Amino acid sequence: AQSVTQPDIHITVSEGASLELRCNYSYGATPYLFWYVQSPGQGLQLLLKYFSGDTLVQGIKGFEAEFKRSQSSFNLRKPSVHWSDAAEYFCAVGAGYSSASKIIFGSGTRLSIRP
Amino acid sequence: EAQVTQNPRYLITVTGKKLTVTCSQNMNHEYMSWYRQDPGLGLRQIYYSMNVEVTDKGDVPEGYKVSRKEKRNFPLILESPSPNQTSLYFCASSLGGRDTGELFFGEGSRLTVL
Mean pLDDT of all residues in B17-38 = 96
Instruction: Judge whether B10 and B113 are in contact, CB under 8 Å.
Output: no
pLDDT at residue A101, rounded to an integer: 66
Contact residues for B44 (Cβ-Cβ < 8 A; gap 6+): A105, B35, B36, B37, B38, B58, B59, B60
Mean pLDDT of all residues in A100-112 = 86
Quick one: pLDDT band at residue A98, thresholds 50, 70, 90? low
Nearest C-alpha neighbor of A75 from the set A33, A40, A30: A33
Judged by CB atoms closer than 8 Å, whether chains meet at B105 and A102 is answered as no
Judged by CB atoms closer than 8 Å, whether chains meet at B103 and A105 is answered as no
Q: Å from B81 to nearest chain A CA?
A: 23
C-alpha torsion sign, points B88, B93, B97, B99: negative
Task: Give the 3-state secondary structure of residue B3.
Answer: coil
pLDDT at residue B46, rounded to an integer: 95
Q: Pick the residue from chain B with its C-alpha nearest to A101.
A: B100
Q: Pick the residue from chain B with its C-alpha nearest to A102.
A: B58
Judged by CB atoms closer than 8 Å, whether chains meet at B101 and A92 is answered as yes
pLDDT in tens, A24-59: 998 877 788 999 999 988 889 999 999 888 899 999
DSSP state of A30: P
Q: Å from B41 to nearest chain A CA?
A: 5
* Residue B81: burial class (beta carbons within 10 Å; 0-12, 13-18, 19+): buried
Q: Which residues of A touch B98 (CB under 8 A)?
A: 32, 51, 99-100
Model confidence at B84: pLDDT above 60? yes
Model confidence at B26: pLDDT above 60? yes
